[in-house]
Structure 1
Amino acid sequence: IAGVINIILKQNDNGGSVSTSYGEYTKGDGGTIRQTLDNGFALPNDGFFNLSLDAKSQQTAVRARDATGAFYYRQPDGSADPREANDKDVQKNGLPKIKAINVAYNAELPLDDVTLYSFSTLSQRDARGGQNYRRPNSTNIIPSIYPDGTAPFYTLRETDYQVAAGGKGQVAAWNWDLSSTFGRDKGVAGADETLNASLGPSSPTHFTTYTNYFDQWTNNLDLTRAFEVGLSKPLQVSAGLEHRHERYKTESGDPLSYINGGYVYPSGPLAGQPGAVGAQGAITLTPEDEGQASRNSYASYVDVGLNPTEKFYVGVAGRFEHYDDSSGNTRSGKLSLRYDLTPEFALRGTLSNGFRAPSLSQSVYAQTANQYTTVNGVSQFVEAKSVRVDSPLGQALGAEALKPEKSRNISVGFAYKPVPEANITVDAYQIEISDRIAQTGFLFGNGVDQILQANGYRPGYRVKYFTNAADTTTRGIDLVTDYRVDYGALGTVKYGVAANYNKTTIDSIKSTPAALTAVGSSLVLFDRVAQGYLTVANPKTKLILSANWKVDQFDINASLNRYDKVIARDANPAYDVTYGAKWLTDLEVAYNFTKDLNLAVGANNLLNVKADNNAFPQGDVNGFPKFGSISPFDPYGAFWYTRATYTF
């Protein structure tokens, strides 16, 4: 339900480091250059200002099968077009091309009893990702624009920034921290080497298809104090207040990317047929898809930690939060216990409940897309829509306002230190989530077409929306161990084992709304494909065996990673695909030429292990990805890299 990301900002007031790295896959593609720089500067009163830069350039990589079947119409004499002999390696769907730059600073300035601080990040990312091929003998293509068809590109320019400022100090034995943070993310999406065939030969080949914004402004006051209460350790008390304002907005793109231009093929095999509507290989937003939402939340919390005895720790925390939208009020709490049976062995456990309000994007995001999907093992071109839950179309399809997710969590485990050089932790957990938010399966068919037409849409769309789909239970076990061995002149090795077992089951599923059952008894709101994304699309087990060997100037890291099988479900169980478990090996060898200069050479997936081949689609296909579409690891094979770092 919720996690914590602890970002450690650089705080040096002088010196810094510079690094450069390059890597690529064994096929010679996916080349990635990354360069970083940071430098610290002194401020008065032992303050500091640290500036960091991070730039990345990544080239594309594709692992696809050749397309099959005819690309071109037969010639007047019935013979095949000579161009059918051309290379049919036409798929471009794979690793996107990316150029990104990140700039960050972190600063502190002590002033008498107050320390002022600020940090900020600014990121710019340009991405260009290939999409599935559109062959020329289809209504997706205008031959005068793309005589050999096209594989469009999805483009994204994203700008993200965050700035925080605050002060901290101590008053009346309380440590206080007051801060304000504002952040914004803006994404402008487009499509390139594409077309809207319904516009005919005059169609543009590049479109801006949508823009979205997300703003968040957060204000925090945190207080912490230790109280002597006559026990073995002081009573630790923390309390705080938070105000958060969020805004999410989407804007439609170029009208030419989504309008129906009405073009009809005048002659040839497609004579009399209309051109496909909408930019190919693109996600588009129409004016009806646009959405905007904002809200405020106000929260307070108290966290108390106490050691009734030297060996026993009790932690109690509570949080109240009020949302000024439909999420309303929430109360959550946590009880943590730890008992040290011996100095080397401790039992621990946590009992808590959680709450997650629907994100603004889940409530108002909508889109329209032309895409390929696999149905009964066969590739099909479909027009798909994601609709807002509050839209007339969403309401007509049975959508309801989203409710917050609620969770109940329990974990028990132990920490054991059998010898000073070893650590073992084991934790078992159970997480029950009610009203879990997910997208429905695709809704389509004659009944859905009736609803589409009644709301002013063309029939034939496959529609989905967000809903409180199910109640689930996740059970799992985490194991983490490490053991350090000193081999004298041969250096030291730190061995590690990390393992996780995680299984999610669905306890109950939201009933198909009456609006759908009234137009089609076979319609299922949350079908077995959508259920599969929760239950079988992720590995149930993961195992990591690692070793870090340090000897002289060498620092060698090796790991062996096992990912369990995953299953890609189809609406028809006969076409489910199981991708088997795989072992991957990572290796890095670093050498310190001096205390300031380090050179590393390494490989991710050293042995070039690939996911199992896609079993589907079959028949006439456009060169779909060769390997498992839901693989839990990078499907592009071994990635070799080198990195140089200089510290000054």
Structure 2
Amino acid sequence: MFTPTTLRRSVLLALYGSAALAVYAPASFAQSGQQATKEEVIPSVSVVGSRRVSATSATDTAVPVDLIPMTRMAEQGGQFDLAQTLTYISPSFNSTRQSGADGADLVDSAALRGLGSDQTLVLMNGKRRHSTSLVNIFGARNRGNTGTDMNAIPLLAVKNIQVLRDGAAAQYGSDAIAGVINIELKRSLGCETVFGAGQYSAGDGENILASAYCGVAVAGGVVGITGEYLDRDRSNRAEAGSLRTIGDSKVQNQTLYLNGDIPLVDGKLYFTAGTQKRDASSAAFGRGADQIPTRNAQAMYPNGFAPFINADIDDHYGTIGYRAKLGEWNADFSQTYGYNKMHYNISNTLNASIANLDLIKGGKGVSASQFDAGGFAATQLTTNADASRFYPNILSGMNLAFGAEFRKENYEIFAGEAGSYNDVDGAGFGGDPGSQGFPGFRPADATDRSRHSVAAYVDVETDITERLKVLSAVRYEKFSDFGNSVTGKLAAAYKISDAVLMRGSASTGFRAPSLQQGYFSSTFTEFVNGNPVDSVFAPNGGNVANAIGIPKLKEEKSVSFTLGGTWTPTPTTSVTADLYRIAIDDRIVFSGRFDADNYAPIVPLLSTLGVGAAQFFVNSIDTKTQGLDLTVSNRSEVAGGKLNTFLAMNISKTEVTGVNAPAAFKGYEEVLLSERERLFLEQGGPRRKATLGFEYLLGKVGTDFKVIHFGKQTLGTWSGAPTPNQVYKAKTSADLSFTYNFSEKTKLTLGGANIFSVKPTEQNPDETDNGFKYESVQFGMNGASYFARLWHKF
């Protein structure tokens, strides 16, 4: 039987871990008297990928799991939000801040193993977390995807992150094609605070962080409360005199999280509640003086202007549950709630048609400079009932688990004020309609859609012998809007010796189309040769989609294989390597723009609807993703100090293997999926990423040096062939920080990220997605940054 101390060590250094775990080792060297583990009692651990509840589960999973302790990152890391922190730790995790991508600038999309953000399932304390209401549309990586907003979670509240790098739809349901990220929150006694400040070497993009955690004893249990305030200012890399603002969006987060449990008779009541209010603002493309009166007004912006796309984002999450021992069975009943809302307000803008009509009527020629543009919201309610039992006398031990889930989802779009979308000076005449920068949602776009799903699963994990473990799972899931799916998984691990283990898995998976993909709708007016043309993002099942002949969305289906092994030659050295292959059929993508120029048959189809161009979501492509995860970690003593070295690397390649056009679009596959859109799918993230880290502690001084390598990326152009594609050469940056431990309870960290100010390869701004010479690829365009972080424990 493991003690809590040996259990924690085994979780971090076991064969099933990753070199990402090595980030924890220096923390234990430096803070043996500071770690929250001294105050935690861990009677049992359940790690994502295994439903066994026992003291050895963390080292018994038959699939690759990275367990990443976050204590040290929250106390002295150089990144102030969760998404960026994980980007520089986990080799298979990728998140790049966008610029010039409208709402996608305000929510950082995150993904695993080269796939889309909505193909990764995110859990919190083992319970499904909701996605954002945003679907990425304009110029974003993860185009057409929804995802989970990792930055809605305060870093100081997180105890560890578990990354399951394996298909797991049969275990956890829809979305778990690329893998599963489980965020475990703190629930330990004691209080601590973190104050941080940083900015780019260019003198902008200031970050201010103030965060506090306090764990208190309540009725025999522990309740942890975390509050965080994060203020991130804009950065701007545009040339002097430009109307544009290119860089990080402005973000102000106010976050509060509660996580705890209270013993009850024969069981334990547990609960999590969190809320975040985010005020965010990104900059749109500029409108020049030469665009008067179509997009500008002489009386308002004679020298041009750049609108700001502002959003009030509300994110709420809550879980309440009860765990109990019913005879020999471990039972768990829970209810989870998730809500995300984005409400747009466009400022420093105008409605050019209103300004032009005002001028015609003898006025100054002005309109309002700020508009409520509407927005959207998504709600998720999940009810779970789970049971598991370990049978020690079946072979060398067998764990049987089964359960059921009911989930209800809702998605709504609400319209903006009339001035954000209307055309008042006459169709095809004068000024363009709607708020410049982001046209508001019209009443015709408004929607309120719901669906529900039911699921049941059986999961069996068997120790055939002391050296051979086999895991099998099957899951049935039925959705009210598209049908049902059955998925399965088989995995095994064999210990060749105490130092060498081989493991492999095969699984089928699925991802249900999100309500956002099914019902997103937006209409805006463009002028072609002086004539107004309504362009629509057409919802599935709506009049436009039906007129064109777009079929009803269905689930994506996947087949995944992994094969790997671990080698632990010494207690302080660990090597892991895992190959994977993921084939996805009927992948949902956002189509190209169909109009009279590239698809003549659309004219008679849409003319009666008053629409001239349309885009839509459709199950239209098959993809194949292959890759390798490699990690190496070592702990040693050097020159009287403690040295921890780790290498974490991911190499992946995604290819579109087929384009399956609906019958109406046969022969128009290049419009349905242009090369530009295909490259977004195949190379939206770098195909290679590696982190080499050296962490050294001597006395009270700790040094952290990381070298981060991002592989080559190729993206498309606006013009298309024969214009050459954008090639972004491989780039390598470095982070360096120093920590002084004043005592076991206080330390100060000073450091820099990307200290050599490496930037992406320059491109032709006319061909990039954001209209700037630097794209939002690899590690971004901002250059070097510096930070200070003070941590104190009470």
Q: Distance in 1 between matches of 2:602 and 2:658?
A: 28
Aligned pairs (5 A) from 1:1-16: 1=119, 2=176, 3-13=179-189, 15-16=190-191
1:235 to 395, 398, 406: 398
1:647 aligns to 2:784 (yes or no): no
- Secondary structure at 1:34's aligned position in 2? strand
Letter of the 2:208 counterpart:
I
After superposing the two structures, state which structure 1 stretch, 389-398 or 409-418, moved more.
389-398
Query: 1:444-488 CA deviation, whole Å, 9 max, x = no partner?
Result: 3343772586144364x5x32111120111111110110111125
1:479 aligns to 2:630 (yes or no): yes
Q: Distance in 2 between matches of 1:185 and 1:443?
A: 31
Letter of the 1:60 counterpart:
R
2:224 to 50, 65, 82: 50
Aligned pairs (5 A) from 1:263-302: 274-302=430-458
Letter of the 2:306 counterpart:
A
2:263 to 104, 110, 114: 110
Contact 1:165 1:181 (8 Å CA) reproduced: yes
Aligned pairs (5 A) from 1:349-388: 349-368=504-523, 385-388=536-539
1:308 aligns to 2:464 (yes or no): yes
- Secondary structure at 1:394's aligned position in 2? helix
CA gap 1:455/1:37 in 2 versus in 1, 3 angstroms: farther
- 1:120 maps to what in 2? 273
- 2:317 maps to what in 1? 162
CA gap 1:625/1:449 in 2 versus in 1, 3 angstroms: same
Query: 1:599-638 CA deviation, whole Å, 9 max, x = no partner?
Result: 01111111100111122318xx9994231x2412121111
- 2:208 maps to what in 1? 33
Letter of the 2:402 counterpart:
A
CA gap 1:109/1:439 in 2 versus in 1, 3 angstroms: same
Contact 2:288 2:305 (8 Å CA) reproduced: yes
- 1:255 maps to what in 2? 418
1:59 aligns to 2:233 (yes or no): yes
- Secondary structure at 1:137's aligned position in 2? helix
Q: Distance in 2 between matches of 1:309 and 1:464?
A: 56
Q: Distance in 2 between matches of 1:126 and 1:37?
A: 21
- Secondary structure at 2:595's aligned position in 1? coil
Query: 1:89-124 CA deviation, whole Å, 9 max, x = no partner?
Result: 221243111111110111211123121111100100
After superposing the two structures, state which structure 1 stretch, 539-548 or 444-453, moved more.
444-453
CA gap 1:622/1:499 in 2 versus in 1, 3 angstroms: closer
Aligned pairs (5 A) from 1:415-564: 415-446=566-597, 447=600, 450=603, 454-457=607-610, 459=612, 461=613, 463-487=614-638, 489=640, 491-511=641-661, 513-514=663-664, 524-564=671-711
Letter of the 1:49 counterpart:
V
| Deviation at residue 537 of structure 1 after TM alignment | 3.2
Aligned pairs (5 A) from 1:610-625: 610-617=759-766, 624-625=771-772
CA gap 1:585/1:23 in 2 versus in 1, 3 angstroms: same
- Secondary structure at 1:530's aligned position in 2? helix
- 2:388 maps to what in 1? 224
- Secondary structure at 1:524's aligned position in 2? helix
- 2:297 maps to what in 1? 142
Segments of 4+ moved more than 6 angstroms: none
| Deviation at residue 339 of structure 1 after TM alignment | 0.8
- 1:73 maps to what in 2? none
CA gap 1:523/1:454 in 2 versus in 1, 3 angstroms: farther
- 2:562 maps to what in 1? 411
| Deviation at residue 196 of structure 1 after TM alignment | 1.2
Q: Distance in 1 between matches of 2:326 and 2:607?
A: 65
Contact 2:625 2:654 (8 Å CA) reproduced: yes
- Secondary structure at 1:91's aligned position in 2? coil
| Deviation at residue 640 of structure 1 after TM alignment | 0.6
Q: When the two structures are superposed, what TM-score results if normalisation uses the length of structure 2? A: 0.72
Q: Distance in 2 between matches of 1:550 and 1:572?
A: 54
After superposing the two structures, state which structure 1 stretch, 362-371 or 20-29, moved more.
362-371
Q: When the two structures are superposed, what TM-score results if normalisation uses the length of structure 1? A: 0.88
Q: Number of aligned residue pairs: give it.
A: 599
- Secondary structure at 1:465's aligned position in 2? strand
Contact 2:623 2:654 (8 Å CA) reproduced: yes
| Deviation at residue 281 of structure 1 after TM alignment | 0.7
- Secondary structure at 1:593's aligned position in 2? strand
Query: 1:561-614 CA deviation, whole Å, 9 max, x = no partner?
Result: 111111121332424111111001111211110111110111111110011112
Contact 2:595 2:603 (8 Å CA) reproduced: no
CA gap 1:609/1:600 in 2 versus in 1, 3 angstroms: same
Identity %: 29
CA gap 1:449/1:333 in 2 versus in 1, 3 angstroms: closer
Q: Distance in 2 between matches of 1:41 and 1:420?
A: 36
Contact 1:191 1:279 (8 Å CA) reproduced: yes
- 1:338 maps to what in 2? 493
The unaligned stretches of length 5 or more in structure 1 are: 67-87, 265-271, 373-380
After superposing the two structures, state which structure 1 stretch, 338-347 or 480-489, moved more.
480-489
Contact 1:539 1:566 (8 Å CA) reproduced: yes
1:213 aligns to 2:377 (yes or no): yes
Query: 1:36-61 CA deviation, whole Å, 9 max, x = no partner?
Result: 011122112x2122211011111101
Query: 1:141-168 CA deviation, whole Å, 9 max, x = no partner?
Result: 0111211111000010011111211111
Structure whose CA Rg is larger: 1
- Secondary structure at 1:60's aligned position in 2? coil
Q: Distance in 2 between matches of 1:499 and 1:315?
A: 27
Q: Which has the higher contact order (CA 8 A, sep 6+)?
A: 2
Letter of the 2:470 counterpart:
V
1:397 to 548, 555, 558: 548
Contact 2:751 2:788 (8 Å CA) reproduced: yes
Contact 1:539 1:563 (8 Å CA) reproduced: yes
- Secondary structure at 2:570's aligned position in 1? coil
CA gap 1:488/1:579 in 2 versus in 1, 3 angstroms: closer
Q: Distance in 1 between matches of 2:792 and 2:727?
A: 46
Aligned pairs (5 A) from 1:627-646: 627=774, 629-646=775-792
Q: Distance in 2 between matches of 1:389 and 1:336?
A: 37
Q: Distance in 2 between matches of 1:382 and 1:538?
A: 34
| Deviation at residue 550 of structure 1 after TM alignment | 1.7
Contact 1:32 1:57 (8 Å CA) reproduced: yes
- 1:69 maps to what in 2? none
Letter of the 1:289 counterpart:
D
- Secondary structure at 2:518's aligned position in 1? helix
| Deviation at residue 290 of structure 1 after TM alignment | 2.1
CA gap 1:298/1:397 in 2 versus in 1, 3 angstroms: same
Letter of the 2:479 counterpart:
Y
More helix by share: 2
CA gap 1:551/1:371 in 2 versus in 1, 3 angstroms: farther
| Deviation at residue 262 of structure 1 after TM alignment | 1.7
- 2:168 maps to what in 1? none
Q: Distance in 2 between matches of 1:130 and 1:214?
A: 25
Contact 2:534 2:611 (8 Å CA) reproduced: no
- Secondary structure at 2:188's aligned position in 1? coil
Contact 1:349 1:412 (8 Å CA) reproduced: yes
